[in-house]
Amino acid sequence: MSTTFWIIIAGAIATYLTRIGGHLVISRFDNIHPRVEAGLNAVPAAVLTTLVAPELLNAGPAEWLALVVTAVVSLRGGLMAMFLAGAAALIVARQFVG
Amino acid sequence: MATDVISQSGGKSDFWQGVRLSMPVVVASAPFAVLFGALAVDQGFSVLEAFLMSALVYGGASQMVGIQLFGQHVAPWLIVLSIFAVNFRHVLYSAGIGRRIAHWPIVQQALGYFILTDPQFAVAEARAQSGQTVGFAWYLGLGLPVYLFWIVESGLGALFGKLIPDTHALGIDFLLPIYFLGLVMGFRKRPLWLPVVVASGCASIIAYKTVGSPWHVSIGAIAGVLLAVILPPHHSGVEERP
């Protein structure tokens, strides 16, 4: 077997450990402390924000416009409407500002 | 017998409800799957290896980092460690989602954790928040199309990567940030949402500038989660139990 193959297998195992690890740790406790529960409830906003925030550093006017449109549409519309509106705004804006 | 039919049709419609929700994810991730396949072959992977990495690792950012380091002839253990680092945020996802899927049989749980990606977690959490059960059929409907498209498109990218058009003009390099912002906004009614977003956002930007990628994700995430843990429980909407 090639080195590449083993890198893929080891990478897959490492990834699966991250996907099941948090559950294995938490499930050892019978009672979840309210503060831990508050922390778990914060996970979606906390992690997803870190996937967007650094993009702001490299974003130009077109990207900013797209994000603003996305945020505004998300106040009213569903996930698909918000996504399509943001993508459309980006494509149109990039025709003008590159 | 009658209840069998009802629960089966219930499962079926749950599955298709999940499939509908998976469509934005399929669209947003498609360019990255194709791009991954193309880059992987460019960096010395075979088509089969590119396909295999998508099928087994199934994490876009970590796959990109992996093949980039591979192309730079970095030591194999360091490549694996980097994949682990990029994917470390999933530890928080699995800690959070465990509460929602604890009622599934163990094999279904094992499979559920395997396809636990960013959107999979966020959309499942949103469903749990709205008071609905996160069932296996629904969860699979949400995750399976994304997985199948991901591996097939990776293979296509590996085979036909040379034919990719100008990705910038089509805006596809920025589709994921748009999608992720939408997901963040979807949680805005949660207690502490704004403080957590501000803390994670600031911490991740500072870490991105100082420590560098990919650690900014874990550092920023931990900052937001810690804030929620530290603030008094009456702010976080979780009852203090005696």
Tell me the domain boundaries of chain A: 1-30, 43-98
User: Are both B138 and B195 inside the same structural domain?
Assistant: no
User: What token pair was written down for A32?
Assistant: 């979840």
User: Are both B73 and B132 inside the same structural domain?
Assistant: yes
Q: Using the beta-carbon criterion (under 8 Å), do B118 and A12 form an inter-chain contact?
A: no
At B166 the pLDDT is 64
At B5 the pLDDT is 39
Domain boundary among B169, B200, B216: B169
User: What token pair was written down for B198?
Assistant: 């501000």
User: What token pair was written down for B166?
Assistant: 């100008």
> Does B241 score more than 60 pLDDT?
no
Query: Residues B86-94: what's their mean pLDDT?
Result: 92
Determine the residue type at B231.
L
At B177 the pLDDT is 84
At B4 the pLDDT is 43
> Does B72 score more than 80 pLDDT?
no
> Does A52 score more than 70 pLDDT?
yes
Query: A24-63 b/e with 16+ CB inside 10 Å = b?
Result: eebeeeeebebbbbbbbbbbbbbbbbbbbbbbeeebeebb
The more confident residue out of B95 and B86 is B95
Q: What residue numbers bound the domain in which B216 lies? A: 190-242
Cβ contacts of B219 on chain A, cutoff 8 Å: 50
- Lowest-pLDDT range, A20-34, B104-118, B159-173? B159-173
Q: Using the beta-carbon criterion (under 8 Å), do A43 and B93 form an inter-chain contact?
A: yes
User: Are both B145 and B205 inside the same structural domain?
Assistant: no
At B164 the pLDDT is 67
- Which residue of chain A has the CA closest to B121? A44
ipTM: 0.87
Q: Whose CA is closest to B38, among B159, B150, B148, B149?
A: B159
- Best mutation target, B26, B41, B57, to test chain A (most A CBs within 10 A): B57
Q: Using the beta-carbon criterion (under 8 Å), do B80 and A20 form an inter-chain contact?
A: no
Q: What's chain B's average pLDDT?
A: 87
User: Are both B84 and B154 inside the same structural domain?
Assistant: yes
Q: B32 in a domain, yes or no? A: yes
Q: B184 in a domain, yes or no? A: no
Asked if residues B222 and A47 have their Cβ atoms less than 8 Å apart, the reply is: no
pLDDT single digits (tens) A74-98: 998 877 788 889 989 999 998 888 6
Q: B175 in a domain, yes or no? A: no
User: Are both B149 and B215 inside the same structural domain?
Assistant: no
Give the confidence band of B167 by pLDDT, cuts at 50, 70, 90: low
Q: B118 in a domain, yes or no? A: yes
At A13 the pLDDT is 97
Q: Using the beta-carbon criterion (under 8 Å), do B229 and A36 form an inter-chain contact?
A: yes
Sign of CA dihedral B195, B197, B198, B199: positive
Q: B177 in a domain, yes or no? A: no
User: Are both B19 and B82 inside the same structural domain?
Assistant: yes
Q: B65 in a domain, yes or no? A: yes
* Other beta carbons less than 10 A from residue B86's beta carbon: 26
Q: CA–CA separation, B197 vs A95, rounded Å?
A: 31
Give the confidence band of B68 by pLDDT, cuts at 50, 70, 90: confident
User: Are both B207 and B148 inside the same structural domain?
Assistant: no
Q: B58 in a domain, yes or no? A: yes
Q: CA–CA separation, B2 vs B8, rounded Å?
A: 10
User: Are both B116 and B233 inside the same structural domain?
Assistant: no
Q: Whose CA is closest to A21, among B118, B58, B91?
A: B91
Give the confidence band of B10 by pLDDT, cuts at 50, 70, 90: low
User: Are both B141 and B195 inside the same structural domain?
Assistant: no
> Does B8 score more than 80 pLDDT?
no
Structural domain count of chain B:
2
* Residue B199 CA from chain centroid, whole number: 21
User: Are both B133 and B76 inside the same structural domain?
Assistant: yes
